[in-house]
Structure 1
Amino acid sequence: MTKPPRKRNKATSTASSDDTPPDNLTQEENPATATITVTAVEVSELTEQEISDRLHLERKVERAFFEAGKALAELRDRKLYRSTHKTFEEYCKQRFGYTRIAASYKIAAATVMDNLLTNGLQKEEIATDELQTPKMLTNGLQILPNNERQVRPLASLEPEVQREAWQKAVEEAGGKVPSGRIVKDVVQRIMERTKIPNTYQLGEVCQILVKDNPELRGKGGCWGIVSQANEFSCTVRMWDGEYAIGLQHLKSYNYLPAECQQMQVICDRIAKIYFDSLEETARSLLQLLGKLNRPWLTAVEEKLLSVLESEYSGIF
């Protein structure tokens, strides 16, 4: 019986053909026969001292934003910029390239971080050795933020709620440091849970309540006029600009409509002549008028404001 002819294996034939380099290609130039040399990288264990140094340096990197915020707060509070700059805002912009808002964010982040570090306890009760990781004595709060974006959303919450929100964010991140997005989502849900209806009206005059909000430092007791009512905050116009302020930091004076209009006129008059470059006495007087707890000016206040208007109006 005649055997059928064997089928030729095309794949094998092709491979064999491809494996044969052309006449003008040497063995060294042929990729199919090239030798790849892999250099093994030796991994050496760290000594105990190196481990300690690494942890120490990592902690410095993680806490850099915290230290920056604390330093800015001290520079501001002690007015250590006064020998070269008239205002803290001017100093931050020229020395660090920070806007007022950027500096406020860093200070606010440091305040939140400080709250998380102490966990409601006295600082003396916390391990202060720089080489050690800060340990929390209650609630097991040991995972800490390592950048400003992670703590910025927490600034809108009360201190006790900040700790609750951070722990929840850590849980959602699987026990690791959560991203800023996770923290923001947690804060949003908490605010929805404790949502307070915004009953403020446009033109309403409100008192500013600081309540441990570093962004409002220096504004405690001042009055402002609502220019926009948002879901969780109001945009409030003051003598030196507009600010977005949370509802928990506002308290209505309950003025009559006519009284609110009078305060609007006073606000406009102050705003036209208030600049950081004003002489200190003039600036201080206008700031005092910005803390009036009545909807009118006394005769003396009216005269003083008129003098400042005649002196500075149109100059800046």
Structure 2
Amino acid sequence: MSSSNTVRGSDAHNFSVVRNAELTARVAQDCQLNKADAKDLSAQSTLTDAEALELSSLEATVERSLKAFWEIGQALRQIRDRRLYRQDFSTFEDYCTNRWEMSRRWAYQLIEAATVYENVRHGAQILPANERQVRPLTALPSQEQPRAWAQAVSTAPNGKLTAFHVARVVEEHQKKISEE
């Protein structure tokens, strides 16, 4: 790795530390404002036009972000498979660690999650919301993943689709597979 990469990695780390501190301060300030505003807003059940517009914008952000793990996994898979990191880094692990401060394990979990997401998204009533929900499905053969996901969705207790519940469904599928 060249010295310019070290500087870039250091700059990225410093930026990340400063950005995290700024975000932490902002969250603390928002919490204080929210506590004060909550009393005033609790009496008002309807949203103003400005609030409705803000809600719509924020919900769009949430919706886009729910797909982030899938998009990150897809991008990392392309970078890894096509060795697009090779100009500045000797290995994919070096790339992940120094460019993104991401462990090799986390990068591969995101890649595997993207693969599972692609396997289950066609015909699914509800799509996985995060990497943690699909992680247990990586233990199953790809052709079994959509069935297990559909079962997890249809049997989620109180409509709560947790990683723990998905893991239990995967265990059931693994038992069926081993009995066949």
Please give the TM-score of this superposition, normalised by the length of structure 1: 0.40
Structure-1 residue corresponding to 2:66 = 62
Q: Which amino acid aligns with 2:78?
A: E
Structure-2 residue corresponding to 1:98 = 102
1:182 equivalenced with 2:165 (yes/no): yes
Return the index of the structure with the highest Cα Rg.
Answer: 1
175 and 80 in structure 1: CA distance in 2 versus 1, 3 angstrom threshold: farther
SS at match of 1:82: coil
1:44 equivalenced with 2:47 (yes/no): yes
177 and 39 in structure 1: CA distance in 2 versus 1, 3 angstrom threshold: closer
SS at match of 1:159: coil
Equivalences for 1:9-88 in 2 at 5 Å?
A: 39-41=39-41, 42=44, 43-44=46-47, 52-88=56-92
- Paired residues in the alignment total 139
CA apart distance, 1:50: 5.0
Deviations 1:181-228 (A, max 9, x none): 00000001110111169xxxxxxxxxxxxxxxxxxxxxxxxxxxxxxx
Q: Which has the higher contact order (CA 8 A, sep 6+)?
A: 2
1:146 equivalenced with 2:129 (yes/no): yes
Structure-2 residue corresponding to 1:162 = 145
Hey, what's the Cα distance between the residues in 2 that align with 1:196 and 1:39?
A: 58
Larger strand proportion of the pair: 1
Hey, what's the Cα distance between the residues in 1 that align with 2:118 and 2:54?
A: 28
CA apart distance, 1:160: 2.7
User: Which 10-residue stretch deviates more, 102-111 or 40-49?
Assistant: 40-49
User: Which 10-residue stretch deviates more, 144-153 or 91-100?
Assistant: 91-100
Hey, what's the Cα distance between the residues in 2 that align with 1:182 and 1:79?
A: 36
Deviations 1:112-156 (A, max 9, x none): 111222x2xxxxxxxxxxxxxxxx4xxxx2211111111011012
Deviations 1:83-107 (A, max 9, x none): 1101111111112222322211110
1:194 equivalenced with 2:166 (yes/no): no
* Residues 143, 176 of structure 1: 8 Å contact kept: no
1:115 equivalenced with 2:119 (yes/no): yes
CA apart distance, 1:174: 4.7
Q: Which amino acid aligns with 1:145?
A: P
CA apart distance, 1:158: 2.1
Return 5+ residue gaps in structure 1 as ranges. 1-37, 120-135, 198-316
Hey, what's the Cα distance between the residues in 2 that align with 1:167 and 1:153?
A: 14
39 and 90 in structure 1: CA distance in 2 versus 1, 3 angstrom threshold: closer
Return 5+ residue gaps in structure 2 as ranges. 1-37
Please give the TM-score of this superposition, normalised by the length of structure 2: 0.67
* Residues 62, 147 of structure 1: 8 Å contact kept: yes
Q: Which amino acid aligns with 1:168?
A: Q
1:173 equivalenced with 2:156 (yes/no): yes
Q: Which amino acid aligns with 1:98?
A: M
CA RMSD of aligned residues (A): 2.5
